Amino acid sequence: MRNIFIGLLGFMALVCSCASKKAVNMGAAKRPGISFIFNGTQRPDSVILRVAGVPADTSSLFLNDYVGILQNGRRVAVAVAGDTVSVGAEAVPSAFMVQFDYYSAPTLYIRPGEHIDMVVSSISPMKYEISDTPLYDEELPYADEADDFRYKTFRFARSKWTDVQYDSITAAHRRFLRKMVTERPASERVVYHLFCIEDEFVPEAFECLAPEAANTLYYPALCAKRKSVLRTMAQRQMMDNIVENGLPCIDFNLPDSTGTQFTLSSLRGKWVLLDFWTTWCGPCRRGFATMKEIYGRYSDRMEIVAVACGDHEAEWKRVVEDYELPWVNLLAANGPDGTVAGYPVRSYPTKIIIDPDGNVRDMHIGEDEEFYSTLEDLLNE
């Protein structure tokens, strides 16, 4: 089972994409706030913002709590009448989650008295340049190299690499991050880079920051991410221990599509494939055909329990009906502690094999034939 921290990819991709864009020097001092400058052929009807003060709490927030604060910020919609739309800065350091009509753009962070220019040349695909923030004004050694390796470790690029290649890329990325945090332990851009990475290196690097790093805009977000990573590591260690030692599975009660409560332990005496998935997950859906084939051959001795994670009920029921899924189908909310039905699910699909005695025999993240070979080997023991 590969140790890949997932976190909240959509938010991360938006926040962490802005430092990849080239800075533009727009000249003289300007009114505090953000100017959106549309210099291409595409122009939105409106700029829609969620504006929230940067959370000051660095002790109790997990990353999903932090993101929730930003997503619940004050809504501001500004009609686009010309080439430029401007919004004023807030009285406190703030985050601006940005949309152009229905197209999501990067989340911009700004302090009182600062100005940011975002020059947008295309909305679909999104192309832009940003200037006048500390992320660009500060020259940072190794930043370009770290960016190159960071892009290669993003989940959407993960399938390009073998395990050996991915481990090599991750190791190289960490080497550059260590150099950056060692040379600039209080840097705004270093804190930003640490916030953007998606692995278990975050707690190690966090300990190398100088106390002055707490004054940077991304520090509260990094604290929330560190706390989430540590929780994920502990939960993963718990699941690894359960799998490696064949310990009892975690029991749960969840509603099926008719509203009837289902208890996992009711399947004692049968093998169980516990499948955590979501309706928007392509690999999850691609696995249905193979799962149906195996279910058809072994339904006398196994049951599949498919747990949809955090989906809207109507959409979940529609997908179950459209794909004619014949097994036990359940719906679960994503727990506040980062678990689903007590299990630390960080990526989809996550599949767990439970033996007839209720003990966990294997756990696999992702969709591939190797897992189904393992499942059939166990079913034929």
Answer whether residue 277 shows pLDDT above 60: yes
Average pLDDT rounded to a whole number, residues 74-101: 94
CB 332 within 8 A of CB 307: yes
The candidate with the shortest Cα–Cα distance to 216, out of 140, 127, 145, is 140
Instruction: List the chain domain ranges.
Output: 9-136, 143-243, 246-379
Which positions ≥6 away from 160 have C-beta within 8 Å?
152
pLDDT of residue 7: 37
| Radius of gyration (C-alpha) of the chain in whole angstroms | 23
Instruction: Specify the pairing of strand 302-309 against strand 271-277.
Output: parallel
- With bands split at pLDDT 50, 70 and 90, how would you rate the model's confidence at 23? very low
CB 257 within 8 A of CB 317: yes
Average pLDDT rounded to a whole number, residues 201-225: 93
Tell me what percent of the residues of the chain surpass a pLDDT of 90.
Answer: 51
**Side-chain half-sphere exposure of 198, counting CA atoms within 13 A:** 27
CB 27 within 8 A of CB 107: no
pLDDT of residue 258: 86
More confident site: 250 or 30: 250
- With bands split at pLDDT 50, 70 and 90, how would you rate the model's confidence at 6? very low
- The token pair at 23 is 């800075």
Answer whether residue 5 shows pLDDT above 60: no
pLDDT of residue 348: 87
- With bands split at pLDDT 50, 70 and 90, how would you rate the model's confidence at 8? very low
Average pLDDT rounded to a whole number, residues 192-216: 89
pLDDT of residue 274: 95
Answer whether residue 80 shows pLDDT above 60: yes
Sheet hosting strand 127-131, strand order edge to edge: 84-88, 33-38, 115-122, 127-131
Answer whether residue 306 shows pLDDT above 90: yes
**What would the pLDDT profile of 126-182 be if each residue is shown by its tens digit?**
999 888 776 666 777 878 888 787 777 765 566 677 778 888 888 888 888 899 999
pLDDT of residue 329: 95
Answer whether residue 10 shows pLDDT above 60: no
Dist CA 67 CA 97 (whole Å): 10
DSSP summary character for residue 359: B
pLDDT of residue 109: 92
**What would the pLDDT profile of 33-54 be if each residue is shown by its tens digit?**
999 999 999 999 999 999 999 9
Answer whether residue 20 shows pLDDT above 60: no
Answer whether residue 202 shows pLDDT above 50: yes
- Which of 6-20, 233-247, 308-322 bottoms out in mean pLDDT, i.e. has the lowest? 6-20
- Which of 16-30, 191-205, 230-244, 274-288 bottoms out in mean pLDDT, i.e. has the lowest? 16-30
Q: Please check whether the domain covering 246-379 is classified as CATH 3.40.30.10.
A: yes
Average pLDDT rounded to a whole number, residues 302-320: 93
Q: What is the DSSP string of 198-254?
A: -STHHHHHHTTS-GGGGGSTTHHHHHHHHHHHHHHHHHHHHHHHHHHTTPBPPP-EE
